[in-house]
Structure 1
Amino acid sequence: MMAPARRNGKKLSPDALIRTIASSTAIETGQSVEEIERKLKNKNAKFAHLNLAQ
């Protein structure tokens, strides 16, 4: 059984949040973290007008 997630009240910076999402996605898809990070930071992307939830 997994231990419950610990919450310390600190918010992630936008860059840290993107890095976390990119690394998780890279593990699942086999893509490089840097490639996914670049796509998430791309301001000309299809969904660039949407913000990531925090």
Structure 2
Amino acid sequence: MKSTPTLLVPPAQTRIIRAVASSTAIETGQSIKELEALLKAQSSKYQQLSLAAAVA
């Protein structure tokens, strides 16, 4: 019995920011909301690049 392949949906940018902020908050003791705001406000010199997508 074959199962249908599951499509992988990449995480949204906001979820990635939340994950990084919460991880950093645990390590540093800072507020998640402050770190999240800082990450959203920063402009990266690598904005033209995107993360690699997993290929199934």
TM-score range relative to shorter protein? 0.5 to 0.7
Coordinate RMSD, CA, aligned:
2.3
Q: Distance in 1 between matches of 2:31 and 2:46?
A: 23
Q: Report the identity percentage.
A: 40
Alpha-carbon deviation of 1:50?
A: 3.0
| Correspondence for 1:48 | 44
* Larger relative contact order, structure 1 or 2 (CA cutoff 8 Å, min sep 6): 1
Q: Does 1:33 align with 2:29?
A: no
Q: Given residue 44 of structure 2, which amino acid in structure 1 is its aligned partner?
A: A
Alpha-carbon deviation of 1:53?
A: 4.1
Task: Tell me the TM-score normalized by structure 2.
Answer: 0.62
Q: Given residue 35 of structure 2, which amino acid in structure 1 is its aligned partner?
A: I
Long gaps (5+) in structure 1: 1-8
Structure 1 segments of 4 or more deviating over 2 A? Answer: 47-54
Which of these two proteins has the greater Rg computed from alpha carbons? 2
Per the alignment, do residues 48 and 31 of structure 1 end up closer, same or farther by CA in structure 2, a change over 3 Å counting? same
Q: How many residues get paired?
A: 44
Long gaps (5+) in structure 2: 1-7
